[in-house]
Chain A
Amino acid sequence: GQQLNQSPQSMFIQEGEDVSMNCTSSSIFNTWLWYKQDPGEGPVLLIALYKAGELTSNGRLTAQFGITRKDSFLNISASIPSDVGIYFCAGRATSGTYKYIFGTGTRLKVLA
């Protein structure tokens, strides 16, 4: 199936550092979602974005809907060890449908 490109694929960071990751698509989307998946668990929704240029925060997490509508960004400020996991983006081209395309994931490892 079609996938979104996420980068980086993985990253090691020191506790306290800020983290940035992005997701790009060849198609225009009208909804972007960001999920976090812990080892052995299912994905959990972090942030949902619905408008180009929208900037939304959830605690230390901030996500943006790219102006071109073909990309989205997730930032984590002051990372802590429990931020470790895999972060997925998901995009939807048509509102009101359930069909999301998922990104390839960014694996985050935080060094204490």
Chain B
Amino acid sequence: DAGVIQSPRHEVTEMGQEVTLRCKPISGHNSLFWYRQTMMRGLELLIYFNNNVPIDDSGMPEDRFSAKMPNASFSTLKIQPSEPRDSAVYFCASTSQAGTDTQYFGPGTRLTVL
């Protein structure tokens, strides 16, 4: 069975451009998480969906960030406009039940904003 799939794996863009990161959770999982990882701040939870509904977006840094989950097999994280401080690795993770421990992480998208 395929794991969590993220695309693109690497993204380089210029400041001010829109960036869209994509995630396909493991089939049958109903909870999806977006994380951001930086050297300075470590791994931070941005937003959490359960059954396609955003439950907690308190970790989203600011209004430039938005996330959607139009169906159970797809989610996007959008940054518009992007800034150099958004450079980080963005991970998507899924689990079969909210509150369980075994979150399966995708390989991440390394974003560089110039």
- Chain A residues at the B interface, C-beta cutoff of 8 Å: 1, 3, 31, 33, 40-45, 48, 88, 95-100, 102-105
Contact = CB atoms under 8 A, between A and B. Distances in A.
Contact of B105 (A42, A96, A104): A42
Contacts of B98: 98
A42 B93 contact: yes
B70 interface: no
Nearest to A45: B102
A33 B101 contact: yes
Given A42-B91, A42-B107, A99 B45 contact: yes
Interface size class of B (residues with CB under 8 A): 20 to 34
A1 B44 contact: yes
A41 B108 contact: yes
18 contacts: A1-B42, A3-B41, A31-B101, A41-B105, A41-B107, A42-B91, A42-B107, A43-B91, A45-B102, A88-B43, A96-B99, A98-B31, A98-B45, A98-B48, A98-B98, A98-B103, A99-B56, A105-B42
B59 A1 contact: yes
Interface of B: 4, 31, 33, 41-45, 48, 56, 59, 91, 93, 95, 98-99, 101-103, 105-108
Nearest to A35: B105
Contact of B43 (A31, A98, A102): A102
Nearest to A6: B42
A22 B108 CA distance: 26
A45 B94 CA distance: 13
B22 to A, nearest CB: 15
B62 to A, nearest CB: 14
A98 B108 CA distance: 19
Given A3-B42, A98-B48, 16 more contacts: A1-B42, A33-B101, A40-B107, A41-B105, A41-B108, A42-B93, A43-B43, A48-B102, A96-B99, A98-B33, A98-B45, A98-B103, A99-B45, A100-B45, A102-B42, A104-B42
Given A1-B41, A1-B44, A98-B98, A45 B59 contact: no
Contacts of A88: 42-43
